[in-house]
């Protein structure tokens, strides 16, 4: 990005984003951060919405920009925020997604069991903190909610954080799905701090209603679109099969970083507490995965080859989404068809026929809930403060069932 301590970045969503601190610039230039250029924000959503090719770096910079705006608004309303706290909050939001792996949701539970990107982000932040002689200590305290001023953590991670504000706004921009557009600027200007907690002034209620509805619609229309689900599930099966083969001793093409996680069984505890797993993980990006999938199309293992061919040719699973569990008899018939058609064992049919569940949580009261500061000084949860009865429905977790199977089995 060149020399100097002040940079402007031209962002298609917000216009110019200003970076005005040398430590922020140092973070942005770091290889751990630059890796996010090579990880798409929305995974396989571009299979449905071709414009959805923005990266996690784009999103990180956007969330940073909104954090700068939010802190400025809160200071303007008299909230005490020191320079050190302001820098810490900006660093925390800049790095909040640095632990994401490529195609996060497909990868997180297939290469390392129960690994969540927040744990990896924290590990990377701690490594950076060592490199930078403790300059990230306040950022880490804010990120882990150990800092006394809770509203700073709530801006980074809560139900009305700048992370969600940016990804809804940015994802709707790049997909062209206008239902996701939110009044982020008005929401930020309605934020306030009361008793050390982040709240929204009463006159911002309608903007919050729109935010929650937009989030629900984006989940059903984009994030949980059946084609996106089909591709994510397919990649998860590819990783599972490749790992099964690698652990059995079969040599597969893979970059050194990908091979490390295919050929070794690594628990979450091992990952966090032992060895150099984190540095190797920080070398993984979308390129490692897709290069391997391209080569595995010609793998001698027919199951892995078929799955990879399906993904490369966009010949994805058929996905049925229902309110009730799928019919067990149908699953059994489809599995039998797969066994005969692909000449595989009964135990291997799960690569081609399987059921799962999906959930949509637009809002969870009590889980860092969105609180409204009423004009009379009382505090109410948004679901109670609003006269929109639909918000009560949004507060319920919607669970649906999916049945995935290859299209030639019926």
Question: Concatenated DSSP letters for 267-283?
Answer: -HHHHHHSTTHHHHHTT
Answer for the pair 383, 392: CB distance below 8 angstroms, yes or no: yes
Q: Indicate the pTM of the whole model.
A: 0.94
SS3 helix, strand, coil % of the chain, rounded to 5? Answer: 55, 10, 30
Per-residue pLDDT, 4: 61
Per-residue pLDDT, 296: 98
pLDDT band at 365 (very low <50, low <70, confident <90, very high): low
346: its two tokens: 């009964």
Per-residue pLDDT, 1: 42
- Does residue 328 register a pLDDT over 90? yes
279: its two tokens: 């540095």
Which residues are paired to 372 by β-bridges?
200, 380
pLDDT tens digits for range 140-162: 999 999 999 999 999 999 989 99
Answer for the pair 372, 198: CB distance below 8 angstroms, yes or no: no
Answer for the pair 57, 34: CB distance below 8 angstroms, yes or no: yes
Per-residue pLDDT, 270: 86
Answer for the pair 390, 216: CB distance below 8 angstroms, yes or no: no
Q: Is 156 helix (H, G, I), strand (E, B) or coil?
A: helix
Q: Which positions ≥6 away from 389 have C-beta within 8 Å? A: none
pLDDT tens digits for range 203-227: 999 999 999 989 989 998 999 999 9
Within 10 angstroms of residue 201's Cβ, the number of other Cβ atoms is 16
Q: What is the mean pLDDT of residues 264-277?
A: 84
Q: Is 264 helix (H, G, I), strand (E, B) or coil?
A: coil
Per-residue pLDDT, 117: 83
Q: Which positions ≥6 away from 280 have C-beta within 8 Å? A: 256, 257, 260, 261
């Amino acid at each position: 990005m060149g020399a100097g301590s002040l940079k402007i970045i031209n962002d298609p969503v917000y216009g110019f984003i200003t970076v005005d601190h040398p430590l922020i610039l140092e973070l942005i230039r770091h290889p751990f951060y630059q890796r996010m250029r090579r990880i798409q924000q929305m995974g396989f959503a571009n299979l449905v919405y071709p414009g959805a090719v923005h990266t996690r770096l784009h999103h990180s910079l956007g969330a940073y920009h909104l954090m700068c705006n939010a802190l400025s608004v809160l200071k303007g309303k008299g909230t005490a925020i020191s320079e050190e706290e302001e820098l810490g909050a900006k660093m925390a939001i800049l790095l909040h997604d640095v632990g994401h792996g490529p195609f996060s949701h497909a990868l997180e539970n297939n290469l390392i069991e129960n690994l969540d990107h927040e744990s990896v982000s924290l590990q990377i932040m701690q490594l950076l903190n060592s490199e930078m002689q403790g300059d990230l200590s306040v950022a880490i305290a804010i990120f882990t909610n150990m800092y006394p001023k809770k509203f700073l953590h709530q801006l980074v991670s809560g139900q009305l954080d700048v992370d969600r504000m940016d990804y809804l706004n940015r994802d709707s921009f790049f997909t062209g799905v206008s239902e996701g557009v939110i009044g982020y600027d008005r929401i930020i200007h309605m934020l306030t701090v009361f008793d050390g907690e982040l709240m929204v002034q009463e006159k911002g209620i309608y903007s919050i209603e729109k935010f929650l509805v937009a989030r629900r619609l984006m989940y059903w229309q984009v994030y949980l679109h059946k084609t996106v689900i089909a591709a994510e599930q397919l990649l998860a099966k590819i990783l599972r099969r490749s790992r099964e083969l690698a652990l059995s001793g079969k040599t597969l093409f893979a970059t050194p970083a990908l091979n490390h996680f295919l050929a070794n069984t690594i628990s979450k505890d091992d990952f966090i507490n032992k060895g150099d797993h984190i540095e190797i993980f920080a070398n993984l990006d979308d390129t490692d995965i897709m290069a391997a999938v391209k080569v595995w199309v010609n793998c001698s293992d027919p199951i892995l080859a078929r799955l990879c061919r399906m993904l490369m040719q966009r010949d994805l699973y058929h996905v049925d989404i229902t309110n009730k569990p799928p019919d067990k008899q149908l699953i059994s018939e489809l599995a039998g068809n797969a066994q005969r058609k692909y000449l595989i064992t009964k135990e291997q049919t799960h690569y081609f026929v399987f059921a799962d569940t999906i959930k949509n949580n637009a809002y969870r009261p009590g889980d860092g809930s969105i609180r409204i500061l009423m004009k009379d000084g009382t505090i109410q949860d948004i679901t109670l403060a609003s006269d929109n009865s639909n918000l009560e429905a949004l507060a319920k977790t919607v669970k649906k069932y999916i049945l995935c199977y290859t299209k030639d089995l019926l």
